[in-house]
Each structure stands twice: as structure tokens, then as C-alpha cells.
């Protein structure tokens, strides 16, 4: 098994001031620096290719993390167990097909994290199956473990249909315009519900079961796929 059980349960440090073991924080910070930056860049790049230069005009079409990270949102990852990067500005009405364009832009953020997880799993599988991992510093192997875990986590979490997550934006563009108007009208209450679910024990009965079930499933599936080919 590539992923250590303590890493799989990383989000479960819900009763501590810091959500993760102190020794893992530098590695997690490095992982999130990459994951958040690529996620937001994917939004900006997709929007630009579809005809909306709003993000590019605001300097967001870059892989420089300084332009994407939100200091408070990043800090809360380690304290509260959730956080955010700076949202990429998108004007969907610049797309030839606003609904399809909106779906693609929203989807590409989570998909970019899943692609990173695939890359990380492939590297980790190669290192382990070839025996190279045994001669490498344990911290490097732990980095790839965390890299896979957090990118799968961001993929799954961001697809939840709750505002302001990407899954909610996708849902908005899938439903009829009349339903979208109603969703927009009550979005502030949905955002409040999301915050409540994240920061209160209610999350243990709603969001956590999804995360603890779906994230390990994807990680194990990726491991099995690369194990078969190496």
C-alpha cells in the first residue's frame, strides 16, 4: 500500500488546534502551493482559451503562486482544516456558449488536481516498484504520499454541489435558467450552510463521510492501475 494510513486520515485531526501533525506541515504547505496554483491556473487558462481574458487581464494566467494564494485561506487549512485560494474572475458571457463554457471552466480546476494526483501516483509507484524508494529520503516518499492525497481531496471536495465550490458552479450551468435564477437568489444561504457544515460537528455526518469514502476509493484505484502496469 503506497499511502500511509495516518495520511489518509489527515483531515481527521478535527479536535486539535492544528489539523495536521506539526512535522507534516512543511510538506503539506509545499503540496498545497502546487495544488492551489495549478487549480486556479487551470480555471484561468480554460477561460482564456474559450474567449474570456478577464483572468489574464488581472494577472491570473500564471503559475506564479503569489498571484493565486490567499494568505488567510491558506493559513486556515492548517488551523481549521479548510481554506481557499483567490477565486479566478470569469465573465461567462464572453464565451460563445456561456453554459458550456462555464461548465468547462469550473470542471478544469478539480480535473487539474486529479491529473496531478495521477502524476504523483505514477511517480510514487515507479519509485516503489523499482526499488528506488528504499534509497531515497523518507521525507521525499512522504511528500508524494501527501501530494496524491491532497490533490485527490481537492478534486473530490471541489466537486461537492455547495456554493462557492466548483461543483455548485457546474450545477448552476446544468440546470434550466429559471432554476439557476432561484439558485442565485438563495446562494448566500447555501454559502452559509457550507460554512456551518465545515466548521461544526454537522460535517461529520455530511461532508466527512463523503470524503472518507470517495477519496480513499480514488487513491486505491489509482494505485491498483499503476501497480498493474509496473
Q: Which cell numbers hold the place of 140?
A: 521525499
The answer to whether 34 and 116 have CB atoms below 8 angstroms apart is yes
Closest CA to 150 of 79, 229, 83, 197: 83
Catalytic residue among 15, 23, 40, 187: 40
Residues 6 or more apart whose CB falls under 8 angstroms from that of 18 comprise: 25, 78, 79
Residues 6+ apart with CB under 8 A from 70: 83, 84, 85, 86
Q: Is 5 a catalytic residue?
A: no
Catalytic residue ranges: 40
Amino acid at each position: 500500500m503506497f499511502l500511509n494510513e495516518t495520511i489518509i486520515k489527515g483531515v481527521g485531526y478535527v479536535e486539535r488546534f492544528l489539523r495536521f501533525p506539526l512535522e507534516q506541515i512543511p510538506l503539506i504547505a509545499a503540496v498545497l502551493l502546487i495544488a492551489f496554483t495549478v487549480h486556479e491556473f487551470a480555471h484561468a487558462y480554460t477561460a482564456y482559451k474559450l474567449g474570456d481574458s478577464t483572468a489574464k487581464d488581472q494577472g491570473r494566467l500564471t503559475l506564479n503562486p503569489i498571484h493565486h494564494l490567499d494568505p488567510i485561506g491558506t493559513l486556515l487549512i492548517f488551523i481549521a482544516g479548510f481554506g481557499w485560494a483567490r477565486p479566478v474572475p470569469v465573465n461567462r458571457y464572453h464565451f460563445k456558449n456561456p453554459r458550456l463554457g462555464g461548465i468547462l471552466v469550473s470542471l478544469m480546476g478539480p480535473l487539474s488536481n486529479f491529473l496531478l494526483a495521477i502524476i504523483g501516483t505514477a511517480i510514487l509507484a515507479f519509485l516503489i516498484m523499482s526499488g528506488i524508494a528504499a534509497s531515497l529520503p523518507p521525507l521525499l516518499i512522504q511528500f508524494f504520499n501527501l501530494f496524491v492525497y491532497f490533490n485527490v481531496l481537492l478534486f473530490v471536495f471541489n466537486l461537492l454541489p455547495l456554493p462557492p465550490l466548483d461543483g455548485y458552479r457546474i450545477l448552476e450551468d446544468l440546470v434550466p435558467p429559471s432554476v439557476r435564477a432561484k439558485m442565485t437568489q438563495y446562494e448566500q444561504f447555501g454559502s452559509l450552510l457550507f460554512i456551518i457544515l465545515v466548521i461544526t460537528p454537522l460535517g461529520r455526518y455530511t461532508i466527512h463521510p463523503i470524503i472518507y469514502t470517495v477519496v480513499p476509493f480514488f487513491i486505491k484505484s489509482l494505485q491498483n492501475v499503476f501497480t498493474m502496469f509496473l
